[in-house]
Structure 1
Amino acid sequence: MQVALVSRSLAPFGGGGIGEYVDTTARILSGAGHDVTIFTTEGHRAAYDELRAGGDPDRLLAPAAEYVFVRDAAWPEGFYTPLHRYSSAVFDAIVDRYPGGGPDLIEVSDYLGEGFVLAQARATHDPRVADSLLAVRLHTTAELCAVLDGHHDTAEFSNQVDDELERFALRHADLLLWPGGDVLGLYERFYGAERLAPAVQIRNPLLLGDGLPDDTDTVDRAGPLKLLYIGRLERRKGVQNLLRAVTALGDPAWRLTLLGGDTETAPLGGSMRSQLELMAAEDERIEFLDHVPRAQLGDVISRHDVVVLPSLWECWPYVALEAMRRNRPVLATPTGGFTELVRPGVNGWFTADTTAEALSDAIAQLLADREAARRPRREGGPRDTVLSLAHPDEVVERYATLHEERRPRPLRRARAARPAPLVSVVIPYYGMSEFIEDTVRSVVAQTYPEVETLIVNDGSFGEADRILEELAVRYPLTVLSQPNAGLGAARNFGVAQARGRYVLPLDADNMIAPAFIERCVDVLESDRRLAYVTSWSRYVDERGEPTDELSTGYQPLGNETELIVRDNVAGDAAAVIRHRIFDLGFAYSQDLTSYEDWHFYLELHRAGHHGLVIPERLLDYRVRRDSMIREIGLPQTARLVAEINAHVLEKEIAWTPRNV
């Protein structure tokens, strides 16, 4: 089985639990004979090369896996955010690595939406990943982290975009992988069960190395109870509650070590460590450790009695598994993966809830009954449960079963089974004599067999406009004319005359790639719920040559996101749209002087009609010096947005009483 593991986080280069998971999964799958490739950021390349040049790289790297380093641009380069750009680079890297078609399984982390463009490609039947199963592994999204860290800034557009990258991948992947406990339950409550892909449980593996250490006879029957916290000093980890808990204890017979780096998740974005040090008030029983080498973490755990995990919510943390591997019980909050990882009295204990008071009560109970605190370690419960929770052989078997039972969704070619439905291309025309033939030629060159072409002359009757008569003779098209009424009215008039099941509005200076209609219809025919399908575009100049004057092109997200209220993330007007959408009363505004397409997609969004975007440049968008977007749209964006919002609300309100 060919497996692609995609993650910016990767041990030993950093990334905490996600990095540890990817490295471990790569090791066990490649060790079982599978062809594993890790796709990670090029920011790790220098460290990787240094390890490879060292004496024993296999000790720190998955020896049988291949590594691909993905370009990580600091600027979005025409994409909405750097992470949006990176998700595209990930897709490109996978296509380059597997030129004959994608791997059997592509697994991406939910964190930071690395799988967004891959999810777009799978949802729109991209042939380059047609044979791949796209799985999103639940770790903890950046959106969940922001909420639990007490600062979720949705006022910033880029932050909202990155949240939507994660949400789209969670919804449109082939499946989700979750480790156990209440992890999937939390995602269903937070995101909505109906907005998540089907889920399959596969636990996170743990490398057992040379076996499990046995120190059941080394219980310290005297002295203070030694507590250990491992993890970032971060609000969502509940570490501030832990400090509140121990400083409120009446029994002084305890010691607490906090091992982890600082974060700016204290109130007002301040240093969490500084806040914790103030709370500790130089108490000699509390020790802060900045960092220990990865290889020495086990020794630190072995010097303590209990590992405390006070998280406000936690997925399936490796620190809990490593503590149990070292035969140390854990005291954890009843959240996420802990609800399955922790077996009270066997390998640890639960607090009553996530509050400081509950933590303090639980620790006080351990101090009051030291025999109960020693029992799990003496009886070997933590060590024994690791085998049932994270045995690598079981995980490998589950992946093999996944490959056999969850084949990729086939590309459903409805046209092969029944006649192809007619697509009506509507081209509004006004003074575009220089470019209209390029547009018509692109329509005539379509690989899709059933197309009718309607040019709507919006009152443009100069000498140069006689080209329409010539085109009607040389190409299979119909020219319709109306008094000048504007772009929106011209589109609506053409739609009203269109006979096709689908309608494609196409501006008279733009061009579509030969496969544009075929690709869009294929997706629409496979999912009757979709209202439209469009694609990425490439910016070209007046000669039709690629230009990066504005950026390389337009990479829309689709209109199912709330971002459509703030920007036209839905797509260009050139989209294959179901005719029934217009039959339902949706139309292009005849009042707006620009952004008619944005207004149209926004109305669809508010009515629950959504579309998809093919992440491939199948549309050439001509950037002209005198284009409407340059002369009206961009200079008047704020005004036009206000007009769009007013028009949407105006249409949704009944302005006259029903009984009149």
Structure 2
Amino acid sequence: MAVRVLMLSWEYPPRVVGGLARAVCGLSRALVARGVEVTVLTLGEAGSPFREEDRGVEVIRVRNGFPSSPDLIPTIAHFNFDLIQAAVPLMETGFDLIHAHDWLVAYAARTLKHGYRLPLVATLHATEHGRNQGLHTPLQRYIHDMEWTLTYEAWRVILCSEAMREEASRLFHLPGDKTLVLPNGIEPDEVAVPEGEDLAAFRRAHAAPDQPMILAMGRLVPEKGFHVLLDAFRLILERTPKAKLVLAGEGPQRKALEEQAERLGIAQHVYFKGFATDPVRNRLLHVADVAVFPSLYEPFGIVALEAMSVGLPVVAARSGGLAEVVEHGETGFLVPPGDAGALADALVPLLISPGLREHLGRKGQERARTRFGWVRVAERTLEAYHRILEERRQVRWLSLLDGVRPRDRRADGGAGLEVLPSRYTGDGTLAPATPAPAPGAAAQGGRAGRAARPGHTSPGPASAS
């Protein structure tokens, strides 16, 4: 029987804010190709249908964009209420588990988990602490708490890189057997351009034929390190005066970056492209000479993978998941985060050597297509689903009021788990049961639990079921 999964995500194409939308879309489509039945509940975009089928994925959108509000928290709360309302009638068809992506859907995920006693899988694509290099405001601390709650409630927490696993384990006190590293993926058709496309004309609109073109893409926010790139580009122009930098992306830092380019005297060599739709992104990838990703914080870096998949050599900061995607000296170059001089030194040889570009680009393309295909990622995700469902069959899900024995309960309170006569060892096998717990006791710790943070109390016995 096919596994049925309810995906919760705050973005899904055509609503694309960052890499999360493409990751959820790519995974969902690949899971469907493996026989999984996937329903995605997400936020709508103006002009997008409220319900559609996307290559076998059932997509249901709950509203068109967030309502205009200066306060993010009530806005997110309303979105989660909408998700729950949309999910309730769907639950009658029977899902096997819930897969939630990031903190913006945490409340709905937790509510549906307990309401329908379904295992919850959480993928954490980034952390608020990492994005801001700490928690400096009440809003940042609130988001961090929501991330903590999501990881606490999850049966498994999926991270996109080993760097993210280390970060999440440290921030949220996750036991090692509760986390799983599954990278994001890429498929060649996602970055293809139509046959007959006049790429030469497209390139001429961005750079002259004799101008080596550097492409940078991403949301214009401080953690992407584009301010470091502009400092590096000033140094590059001293050695390769004809170089052109195309910066594709939109975000709150755009004005500051444009002003920085003016101050540095490089504005005429920098093209602020703005947000690039998927077709425009694909054309840019096919006409650029080199791609650069100077991120100060990058959990994975799916855009770098997209660049590699079309044979574009990559220079990236050695931050987070980028260091696991790019092999230094083999498929591209890695430099220390925030080091403009090192970034310039890595880019200049690629700008002046077509042979080096071709060699690194070919190696990068091979790595991207063999190591990071969505088919492989979906296979490993499905294996994780099956393990979770097998573990779920070994436990009885109890709804308990604090201090009330199961036989005395009158209403649902905090959820707990009572272990049946076998236990999961963590290596795919079931071992003989440990001595039965005392009457009324619930399973504690292990995969489901973890110690509460200092100053916080646990939500209840094994409530992270």
Same fold (TM over 0.5): yes
Q: Distance in 2 between matches of 1:180 and 1:614?
A: 27
CA RMSD between the two structures: 4.0
Compared with structure 1, are the counterparts of its residues 162 and 81 closer, same or farther at alpha carbon in structure 2 (3 Å cutoff)? farther
**Whole-Å separation in 1 of the counterparts to 2:305 and 2:398:** 52
Question: What is the 5 A alignment of 1:585-596?
Answer: none
| Aligned partners of 2:156 and 2:180 also within 8 Å | yes
Kindly indicate whether residue 99 of structure 2 is the aligned counterpart of residue 114 of structure 1. no
Whole-angstrom CA distance in 1 between matches of 2:38 and 2:81: 21
Aligned residue number for residue 403 of structure 1: 385
Cα separation, 2, equivalents of 1:166 and 1:421: 25
Describe the shift of the 1:119–1:525 C-alpha distance in structure 2 as closer, same or farther (beyond 3 A). farther
SS at match of 1:611: coil
The secondary structure found in structure 2 opposite 1:13 is: coil
- Determine the C-alpha separation between the residues in 2 that align with 1:228 and 1:360: 14
Q: How far apart, CA to CA, are the structure 2 residues paired with 1:414 and 1:21?
A: 31
TM-score if structure 2 supplies the norm length?
Answer: 0.76
Determine the C-alpha separation between the residues in 2 that align with 1:303 and 1:286: 16
Letter of the aligned partner of 1:118 in structure 2? A
Is contact 2:291–2:315 with CA below 8 Å preserved after alignment?
yes
SS in 2 for 1:114: helix
Q: Assess if the C-alpha contact under 8 Å between 2:165 and 2:181 holds in 1.
A: no
Q: 1:233 to 1:73 in 2, by over 3 A?
A: closer
Relative to structure 1, the CA distance from residue 294 to residue 51 in structure 2 (aligned partners, 3 Å threshold; closer, same or farther) is: farther
The one-letter code sitting in structure 2 at the alignment partner of 1:233 is: L
Residue among 124, 135, 144 paired with 1:163: 144
Q: With structure 1 as the length reference, what TM-score do the two structures score?
A: 0.55
1:127-142 pair list within 5 angstroms: 128=116, 130=117, 132-142=118-128
Which of 370, 388, 397 is residue 388 of structure 1 equivalent to? 370
User: Which residue, 176, 195, 219 being the options, matches 2:157?
Assistant: 176
Q: How does 1:41-80 map to 2 (within 5 A)?
A: 41=43, 43-44=44-45, 46-49=46-49, 62-70=54-62, 74=67
- Is 1:203 equivalent to 2:190 in the alignment? no
Query: Hey, what's the Cα distance between the residues in 1 that align with 2:402 and 2:29?
Result: 51
Q: Is residue 2:30 matched to residue 1:28?
A: yes
Per the alignment, residue 79 of structure 2 pairs with 86
Structure 1 residue 205: deviation in Å?
2.4
RCO (CA 8 Å, sep 6+): is it higher in 1 or 2?
2
CA contact (8 A) 1:351 1:359 kept: yes
Q: Match of 1:179, as an amino acid?
A: C
Corresponding position of 2:309: 325
The match for 1:526 is 442
CA drift of 1:163 comes to 2.7
Deviations 1:407-435 (A, max 9, x none): 2545855999xxx99968xxxxxxxxxxx
Aligned to 2:294: 310
Match of 1:438 in 2: none
The size of the alignment, in residue pairs, is: 417
Q: CA deviation at 1:185?
A: 2.0
Distance across 1 between alignment mates of 2:49 and 2:162:
38
- 1:250-286 CA-to-partner distances (Å, cap 9, x unmatched) read 30245233333343248xxxx3343343245354332
| 1:305 shift after superposition | 1.3
Q: Measure how far apart 1:2 and its partner are.
A: 0.7
Q: Distance in 2 between matches of 1:414 and 1:386?
A: 42
Query: Deviations for 1:315-354, whole angstroms, at most 9, x for unmatched residues?
Result: 2222112211210011001111112210123321111343
Q: Deviations over 1:474-503 (max 9, x none)?
A: xxxxxxxxxxxxxxxxxxxxxxxxxxxxxx
Query: Using a 3 Å threshold, how does the CA distance of structure 1 residues 223 and 84 change in structure 2: closer, same or farther?
Result: same
Maintained 8 Å contact 2:31/2:382: no
Q: Could you say which residue in structure 1 is the equivalent of 2:411? A: 515
SS of match in other structure, 2:47: helix
Aligned residue in 2 for 1:185 = 166
Picking from 343, 354, 371, the partner of 1:359 is 343
Give the residue type in structure 2 aligned to 1:105: L
Identify unmatched segments of 5+ residues in structure 1.
53-60, 425-446, 452-513, 530-558, 562-604, 616-660
User: What is the identity percentage for the equivalent residue pairs of Structure 1 and Structure 2?
Assistant: 19
Contact 2:330 2:364 in 1 (8 A): yes
Query: How far apart are the structure 1 equivalents of 2:22 and 2:350?
Result: 31
**Partner of residue 42, structure 2:** 40
Partner of 1:105: 97
* Unmatched tracts of structure 2, length 5 or more: 194-199, 201-208, 419-439, 446-450
Shift in alpha-carbon separation, 1:405–1:415, aligned structure 2, 3 A: closer
Checking the alignment, whether the CA contact within 8 Å between 1:231 and 1:237 is kept in structure 2 is yes
**8 A Cα contact 1:251 1:367, kept in partner:** no
Partner of 1:6: 8
Whether the 8 Å CA contact 1:121–1:614 is kept in 2: the answer is no
> Structure 1 residue 367: deviation in Å?
5.2
Q: Distance in 2 between matches of 1:109 and 1:381?
A: 32
Cα pair 1:316 1:338 within 8 Å, conserved: yes
Contact kept, 8 Å, 1:83 with 1:162, in 2: the verdict is no
CA drift of 1:211 comes to 9.7
- The residue aligned with 1:260 is 248
Q: Is the 8 A contact 1:414 1:525 kept in 2?
A: no
Structure 1 partner of 2:422: none
CA distance in structure 2 between the partners assigned to 1:255 and 1:240 by the alignment: 17
Q: Which amino acid aligns with 1:161?
A: Y
